Every structure is written in C-alpha cells, then in structure tokens.
Structure 1
Amino acid sequence: MAGEEQALAGLLRALQGLTPTDFQEFKVKLSEVDVEGGWNIPKDSLARAAHPCALVSCMGKNYSKEAAMDIAIGLFEEMEQRDLAKKLLDEKVKEYKRKYREHVVQEFLRYKEVNSCLGENLSISSRYTALTIARRTGSQRGDEHEAVDTSHGCANSSNGPATITVTAQMLFKPDEDGQTPQVVVLVGAPGMGKTMTVRKVMVEWVEGTLYKQFDYIFCIDCKDIAFTKEASVADLISKCCPHRRTLFEKILDDQKKILFIFDGFEALGFSLVQPESELSSDPREVKPLGITLMSLLKKTLLPESSLLITTRPTALQSLGRCLEGEYYAEILGFSAAMREEYFHRYFENNDKADVAFRFARGNKILYSLCVIPIMSWTICTILEQELHKKKSLVECSIATTPMTVFYLSRLMKCRGRDDPEDLPRFLRKLCSLAADGVWKHKVLFEEKEIKDHGLDQPDLLPLFLSEKISKQSRDHGNTYSFTHLHLQEFFAAMFYVLEGDEEMVGDSGALVKDVNMLLESYSESREDLNLTVRFLFGLVSQKSIEYVDEITGCRISPQARDDLLRWLQGRHRDISHPSQALKVTELDTFHFLFEMNDKSFAQSALGRFTDVDLQDIKLTLYDQMALSFCIRQWVGLSCVTLQGCSFDQQDPGEELVHRAPGAGGRPHPLAEEELLSPIRPLCRALRHPGSDLQVLRLRWCRLSESCCAELAALLAEHPGLARLELADGALGDGGVRLLCEGLQQPGCRLRALR
C-alpha cells in the first residue's frame, strides 16, 4: 500500500505542475480514454474533480495503480508534456524495482531443508557459510580450461595457469589485469553449494551489499525450464517476475545493468551447437529454447548484459565452445575454519555445535569429507538426532559408513531423468572403476576408461565423478575423478560386497571379487587400504544392507561376513606367542567392529582374545568410541594395557565455555556429559555389567588429576579389578586423594597399585 500511495503521490505532483488550461485538457483526454478490459471514468465524476487532488482520487477509485500511471504517462506524451511523462515513468520504474526486490526476498531468503518440520523454513542468511572458491587468473576458452581438482579439496595447479581464492562477492570485480568479467562460469560437483551460493547472491543483492552495479538480476533454475520447447528472453524474464505487466523496455534500456543467472546448466541437456544464422537478436523473438539460450551465450542477444552460469563439471566442455572471454571459478568446499562455522550455524546452540564439531574433528575421515557442504549437512543432521536422544555422543554408535550411505541417499535426490533400472547397473560399474583405482593408487581416470567401464551416462556420471577438462582434451579426452578420495574408497569397498558376477575391468585384464585377497594385502603391506576395509565392515551390517537396497536397488551379499570374521580372529593370533594370552594389538580392529556395529559379530570376533595392548597412540574421541563399543561386548577381556597413549582432551578455552553456568546457575548438561575426564569413555565401558577385567595398565599416558575421579569410581564399582598401574602419571596430590577414596570403598578389591 505504501508503494501505491507513493506512486499516486507522484501523479498528484505531476498534475499540480500543469497550468489550469493544461489540467482541463488532461481531463478532456482522460474522458476519451478507452481502457481495454475496463471502463471509463463516469463523466459526472470527472466533472466534480475540479482540482488535481480530486482527480487523482477519482482515477485511483476507477483504475488500478498501474493502469492510472500508464494512462497518465500516455496522456502527458500526447500533450507533449515529456518532462512530466518521464518523471512519472521514473516513478513507475522505481516502484517496479521495489516490488521485484520484494519478490526476490520472498523467493530466495527462506528455504526448506529435507529434514525440516512441516511449515518450517530456514533463513539463507543464518545458515549460509562462505565457501572456498578458486578462480583462474585470466579468462580462458572452455576447451583450454584446467578444472580445479575438488577430489582432494585442493587446487590442481599443474599444466595450467595459477588460481586465486575468491568469494562470491568478487566474481564480477576486475581481475589483476583490470578486466571486469562479463561471463562467469561457477563450477561445482553435486552438493558443493552452487544453488545455496546463488540464493545468497540474490538476497545480498536485494540488501544492497553485493553486485550493486546491476539494477536487475534474473535467476533462472534450469531444471524449471528443461522441458520448455520455445521461449524468448522476454519469456524468461517474465518467469522471474511476479507482475502481470513487465517493463521490458525500461529493463532493457541499459543492458550493462542486467545479470542473468542460470543455475544448474547441466540440467538442460540440449546441444549447444547451433547454426549462427539461427541465432536471435530480438529479446521478444520466440525461438526454440536452445537457440534463445545460445543467442545469450554468444552475445547476439543483449550483448552488454552479464551472465553467471552454475554447472557441474560435465557441462564445461560444451559451454567452453560457445562462450568468449568467460571466467571460470570452482567451488572447492569448506575450509577448516568454515567447517566449524557451518556447525555453529546449523546448531545455533553453541554448546551443541562445539560437541558435534569436536566429534566430527575426532574422526579424520568424516572431518575430511566435511569439505563437501552436503556431507557437513549430513553429519550435522545425524548428530542433531543423536544429541536429541542422548546427552553424550560417546555413547552413540555413529560410524563412518552409515553417514556415507546417508550422503549417497542425498545424491540420489539430484538424479536426472534416468531409468530407475539403470542405477544398479551403473553403480556396479562405478564400483569396479573405484576398486581398480584403489588397487593402482589411481585417482584420475581417462575418458577411455570411463567408456570401457560403461559409465558414459550423462544423467548419472556427474553425481559421482568430476570432469577435468585439459588443454590436451581434444587429443586425449578429458579426465575424471571421484568427488573425494574417501568416496572412491567407499565405492571400492562396495565392489567386493555387491551381489552379481561383475568383474573388474583393468589394464591388465579382469580381477575377480576376492575379499580375502583385499584383506591379505592390507595385512601384509597395503596400509592405504585401511579405509576401504573399514567401509567393507560397515557395508555388511544389516542396516547398511537394507538401506543401500532401499535407496539404490543394489543388493549387498552378507556372505563376506564369514571371511571378515575369520580374518579378524586370525590376524592377532599370528602375532601372539603360543604360550601367551591372545592380545588385540591393533586399534583398527576396534574401528572395523565399530563400523559394523553388530554386537554378536563383535562378541564372536573378540571371544578368543583376553588382552588389549595398545602403544604410543593418540586416542581421539572417535577412537575411544570404537574401543568402548568393543569393550562392552567383550566378555572375556581380562587385561587392558595402554602404554605411551594420550587421550584427546578439550581445549581449556572451550572447557570454560561449556562449564559456564546455564539457566538457574547450573552447569550445562552437555558440559557434564561430554567434557569431563578424557578417560571417562574408557572407564565407563570398563564398568559395564559382566566385565571380567582384572588388570588395567595406563603407563606413561600423561594422566592428569581430572582422570582420578573416573579411576576411583572404577575401583569402587569393579570388584574383579585386582591390579592398577599408573606409571609416570602427573596425578598431583588431589588425584592421589581421589584414588585413596576409591580404595576405601567397600566394592574395591584391588591388590596392587603402581
């Protein structure tokens, strides 16, 4: 309403600027106006409107605001009152811009996440976290473009110009040579945050903090127009505007102030090779959609306008053939600092955010995968659910494989128009490629390998592999890599457990699926296979078998479980002396069992062992979770030896934050559960009912005074514990007093303390 009053106020000022004679002429012409689909102002009403204020009121009652302004502008032009017509037109354009920006805010400020409640929308301003974006130092043709390597979260600077790190705000700023980009291609794998970046751009433009040089930014979701057969540029603009009457002429008056954003260009799927003679130069000319877009790209249409195109790497080569003077930028994901910021933005509650981020950082694999924004979202979503159910993440069975499978389910939401039956076949072939690469220490694959594996399917390939377009691509084809190395290892593990007789196609012929060969290679020399083996255990859990089948249609065979069990039972027996107790001496054993998260399997695997003996290991929170899970299932465990090990501890600054009193002066519950003694997870696991623990050695583990309360509780509650060794511990007088209190408890049966 304020906008309407402002516009009519402009009309009033214009009428007040007329002489009495001109005012009467205006009224006469107004009485002769024939409004299409409307009606004329009754003559008696016009006669009573003897002054400008009354006439404006009369027009406002009989016409819409837009119609009243259009009629007045037309009449002023007929009367050759061009200055007044221009002022009114400027008022109209100003009002149109205001309404368009309001529409942009409604469309882009708030969005709905997959896991949000009914009716709950999130603000892009509160959730968006800045991404690392690399831009080439100079414009290049697409066929010479060296794509930035996102598979490992770092730039691939070989055989190409250097890259510089930029932000979304800098994409249309002059480069080091003083050249302002007119066309920017923003590249990113699925889940890297392209669409969220576009949303942020639109909102900040409305707020006046970004791209002030543009009067209009029109954002076109390519998925929405993918099935459009014909359109003009005017039609595309109309899709972005909420108004029935769009001011095309005024919008197009200054092309330099227009930015078109095409989000998800790869969704269009049509050929970008069009005859030059077919291209259009008229914004209102209706042509096949491909020709209209090609005309914009080739600059035969609106040559001075700017373009921002977001796309997956698969569309780069075809784009490069039809663009000129374009700049390329690639989203690399979250930096270390931005990962932490994202957790805080997601949870909003600082206590929960700190606990969740500490958990993710303690798992090197998950933390590395958090460079991918959608993986950070996946991990936060799962941790939020666990924090809602329990106070302590240490007691939750959150392994790496379930989170990766959940990430896979999110990728499935990005699928195109492929046949559902194509997916299982494609994934089997993808897994064979991944396994081939893992065996050969290979992360880059040539185009021929992609075709040999039958993976050249445009709707599915970009979900999993990033395309690298090189200078030599004309002769040798492009190269491809998995979005992240850990995802390649995940799919390599899937190769060994998917049902079917597919063999792995490699340079040296076919390699059959042989889980035992993989396990033996890992045991003997291939430590780099650790994560592949870990995923192997996770994939044969019952939950993973059911979930993978549900989201992909692929069936995982549980037969590998027997091979995994025999291997675990045999690997530690081989390194134990026949006359000694059987010991588990490798931390990865606990991670493998934790990954499967099957209590009966863990009991079978550990049932023949009696001792744990770990040396010189820095135990992260995630390590302690895996160890604690296994200890709880381990009926025959009698001796735990940790020598030269350290425990992940909370930073003092963070601990102070968490120990700050909450409402009512009480400590935050999370502080009590998560952030006390660093050995609390271990001690709580050792106190579980049915434990046969007799000896606990924590030698040279640099235990502090805060650990003694947990040890005292263990002494008091574990009647079977007969020997405790704490060599070289900086326990302090307070720690010794706490231990003495534990020794005095009725339940303590300790015989030796060293």
Structure 2
Amino acid sequence: MHYFSFCCVLESLITCQQTLKSNMKKKFQCLSEGISKPGKPTYLNQIYTELYITEEESGKVNNEHEVIQIESVTWKPDRPETAIRHEDIFKPSPVRDEPIRTVMTKGVAGIGKTVLTQKFTLDWAEDQTNQDIQFMFPFTFRELNLLKDQQFSLVELLHHFFSETKGISRFEELKVVFIFDGLDESRLPLDFNNNEILTDVTKSTSVDVLLTNLIRGKLLPKAHLWITTRPAAANRIPAGFIGMMTEIRGFTDPQKDEYFTKKFRYKEQARMVISHVKKSRSLHIMCHIPIFCWITATVVEDMMNKEDGEDLPKTLTEMYIHFLVVQTKLKVIKYDGGTETDSIWSPESQKMIESLGKLAFEQLMKKTLIFYESDLAECGIDIRAASTYSGVFTQIFREERGLYQNKVFCFVHLSVQEFLAALHVHLTFIKSGVNLLAKEEMKSKDVEERYHESSETEMYQSAVDMALESPDGHLDLFLRFLLGLSLETNKRHLGGLVTQREESLATNKVTAQYIKEKMNNDLCVEKSINLFHCLNELNDQSLVEEIQQSLQTGSLSAHQLSPAQWSALLFMLLSSEKDFEMFDLKKYSASEEALLKLLPVVKKSSKVILSGCNLSERSCEALSSLLSSTTSSLRDLDLSNNDLKDSGVKLLCSGLMSPDCELEILRLSGCLITEEGCAALASALTVNPSHLKELDLSFNNPGQPGKESLAALLKNPSFKLESLK
C-alpha cells in the first residue's frame, strides 16, 4: 500500500512537471528584438547569442550611470576571467566545492538579463539542460509588485502563478529553482531587518515576508534562487545571502560586428555600419548593449532606403532623433493610412509624443522605469490612452500583461526614456518658456514671469548642475540628449515638432564655455568624461583640438594645462583606437602631476615607462592602489631614476602583495633604495609569489643582507622570479 501511494505521488509529480514544461515552452520559445511584433515571431533559440557572464566580487555597488559603467568595460583589460555558461550557473566551480544556493546576476538595462533567464528556463523545459531540476519557477518583480498588499502562503503563491502545480502541496524535498527577474523594479520593501522569520510554507503572510525568508534560506532551504538586477539595486539584498555574484558584460567588439553582419542582407552595408560606429566613441560604447545595436540597425536601415544620401548619425542625440522619426513615420503609414511623403508631425502624433515625454521626464526624476496605472494617472494619462500609445509606438513604449490582465508599462529601454524626457524639457521651454529644471522657488512663479527670468542658457546650465550634483549619475545621458537637442541641425530633423528660436547658436557657445569652466573644478574621471560627451553633442571640439595642437608642436607643459585640458588629454587617450601596449609618460610631461592626472591610462596599459619623471612617495601610493585593482592591465612597470627611496618602495609593496597584482616586470634602477627597501620587497613577494618574473634593482645600495634576501627568492622554485639585477 505504501509503495502504491508512493507511485501515485511520483506519477502526479511527473504529470505536473510535464504540463509546466509544455506551457513554459509556449511562453518562452518566441522573442522579438525591441518588443514583440504581432505576426512576426522570432524563435529565441535561433537568435540567442551566448552572453559573457563573469563572477564578480559580492557587496560592491556601482553608483555610476550605466552608460559610464559600460564605458569603463571598454577600458578594462583582457585579463583572464572565468566565463560562466548560463546552464552552469548553479554548478560548483573549480574554486568552490559546494553547490551555490543563491546567484545574483547584475547588468545594465538592455544587456540581456531577462533573455538570459528565459533561455535558461526554455532549455530546461525542452529537456536540454539541468534535468536534475524537478521544477523551475520564473517570477518577475513587475508581477510581484501587483500582489504587494495581498496575503499568500508560499504554496499558495506557487499555485497562483503556476496553476500546473496545484496537485503538489509539499516542495521541501524537491529540487526547485526560483528565478526573480528585475530586482531593480521591485516596489516591495524587502525588509530583511524587521520582517518576521517564517519556516512554514503553508502559513499566509505578505509577499515581501515570503521573499525575504526564501532569500534567507528559512523557507525551502534546499531550493536554488537566481535574482537579476541592474547594478544600482544589487545592495537591496544583503551580501551575506548571495552565494555568487555574477555580471553580464554585453557584446564584445567581435559580437557587435557579428550582430550587424547578421542584421544586414548585404555585407557591404554591414561593413559600412561597423566602420561608422567605430568612428564615434559614443555610438561604439552604446553598442555594447544589444538593444542599442538594434536601435542603430533600425535607423541605418531606414536611412539606406532613402535617396537623399543623408549622412549617418554621428552622435547619440542624432541617433535617437532618427529613431523617433522612423517610429513616427511607421505610425503614420500603418495606423493613419498615410504615405512616405506625408508629414509625420500630425497634431495627434505631437500629442502622443508630448504625453510620453511628460511621463518619461516625471518618472525619470523619480528614478522609476516601470509604470502602473497610478503612475500614468499622475502624469495625466489614462489607461486607455497608454494602451493606444503602446499599440501605435510599438518600438518605443510597451504594455505588458501580468496575471489576470493587470497592465504594466515601460519604455523599450532606459535610454529611450532619457531621450524623451530631454525632448519634453526642450519642447516645454520652446513652447511656453517654462524651465522645468528651475529651482522650486522659480517654479512657484507664474509662467509669464518665469519666461522673462529664465533663458535657454539658464536651462542648460541648470541641467549641467543637476547632472553633476547627482551622486549616481542618473541624469548623465539625459544631459547629453538635452544639449544635443539645442543644435539647429537636430531641430531640423524634428521638423514640425520643434519650432526655431533665435538664440540657439549663441546659447550653445555660452553653454559650452560653462561646461569647460565646470571641468576646471576637481571632478572625478567619470564626470569629466561625460562632460566631454556633452561637448561632442554640442559639436564643440575646441579642447581636444588645443591638446592635439600642443602634442604636434611638442609644447605640452604640465604646469600650463588647466584641469579641463587635462581632462581633454585623458579623454583623447582613453578614446584612442590604438591598443595600449605601452604608455611613456615623457611623451606628455615628465612630472608627478601628469602621472596622477593620467592614472586611468596607466591602468589600461600593459607596459608603462615612468623612468626619470621626478616621482615621489605620492606616486608610489597611487601606483600601489592601481596594482591591487582587479581591473588593471599593468604587467611591466619602469620606475627607474626616480628618488623613491625606501619609504616610496614600502608604499609600492602594499600593492605588490595584493592577490590581484599581476605585475611581471618591475624596474627600480637608481631609486635610492637601501637594505630596508629590499627587505620590504622580499616580504611583499613572499606574500604574492605568483607573478613577478623580473626585478631590476641596479644602481641602488641594498647592502649584503638585502641582496641575500632577494637572491633567496630567485633560487626558490615556489617563486616565479627569473631575473634579478
């Protein structure tokens, strides 16, 4: 009887599992780029490209704008990293014996996190991978948000979302995987400090309590969890509850080329697009994000079909203006029955774009990227209008349906929201003179008074200030778009949507000068780089041209360069298409000030020559920090003929002993080093013996004990040291 009962339970489990797999295959097998196109399904298995997933250090939160984070990836070295295939996400690695319970995968918007989890689920449902897993439960925080005020037990929640499992009431002994996609979109408090501890899967409570206890391992401790998020929200879950932190890096340069080659029918077209994208640093950086490759391809494909031979977009603003024009033209032809020659800026189209722009701006200020009915109502958009917009502008604004047809809205990508937000601010000022970025005291005045008091210049300066004051850089791209929209050429592309104002040309010069003055302040590298992109949007290359002229004439002097000019030099070097095999500081300025200003270039280079550059302890401290960085490319460092002394070498040694230091060659010839400095070097190499192969200490005074301590390392087979001078 007992055996018979067991067989019945097993049969029931298998039936539930097969039904769940069948439904998941139907749900996840089709996918469209951008968003779904009715009648044009694309099969996920046909277009999926294996994304580059790497293990990251837990607990680190990056508060930079995501485009800056993508940009920093292009400066990172090709150092060996462990790539993880999606199907192996929970499997033990060579450095871990134990299976991993909870994995967090972070990545910027549009990088492919959702597609990754869909592919993982589809492979399981199609019996391709992970067949030891009995049940897989993919959730999105967008849907869980809708249940924020409701009560469920964990079993009830599973039955609610996955009705196929209603025949199962016990999951404790089953091997299950929970996927929670989009932590950054969660409106649940996730209160790990105050939520009650719960171990009973049949006890009803809030969804928030269920989630925190699942993540803690109090509920279903044997279950596996996979959580995806944008980087800024990664710290919403305490690091102690995350078994492994991973990151999706997006397209590599070869993958970008592969994407465009597949996208365009003719190879010559693909080659032209690839070449054009590489010429623009802004476009090249953004193409690390798969969805931006799609936006670029959409725009270029449309422009190639025209006969006017218009130049391809060179800046981000140009690209997004053309994208908006393409989508509006599609709306005119598809929904309004118009033709290619009809004006696209009908009153109805203008109203839709203005409404979407208002929504984009107000929600961007709140850092909100998904919108429910209440969010739409706050912006004066009713649910019916929102559904219409998503149906008409299908590639810009989309509607998703959760269980029971609850509607969730969002823009197709964060950058599209940022562009439309900037367009809204721009249009509002042009049409009414109202500066939406003015301080609160200005906003309280009536429109006419504000019109006289707030000029276009003041609006752009307000935007620059706001972006610089933002600790997480969330207005960086918004600022680029807003400044780009001020150009006459870009206004012409928008045709009837934007009317002309007289002051634009003079305004642009004043704004560019204001940005340069800001760059003379003590800004971090990321802020300076973004301001350079802003100057590029304004078509102002003067700073870069000044530096290029100085380099060509050999008149570059560290003492004469302003902070803005230093930023220009740094921007030029980091934007160079040349491989950073070798960086020689003397080509620019043999000074400590120059080294400290150009440290990001040193970090990117594999061989760095700093000999005879008048360096001191201060440089050693900065270089030590760089040596211990996980993102440093430095393998060969020449510090010869600088008066570093023992005190400087000791500072350098704290970097040398770091497990992340992979320096192979170190030249310290003629640096006034004595026995004390040699002892510090020997100690550092004892802690980290794995990489340094060559050490040059000639023309120093190490004394006999110093020579002996280092010579012992040369003889020891545990050390990589091969050459000692």
Question: How does the TM-score come out when normalised to structure 1?
Answer: 0.45
Question: How does the TM-score come out when normalised to structure 2?
Answer: 0.46
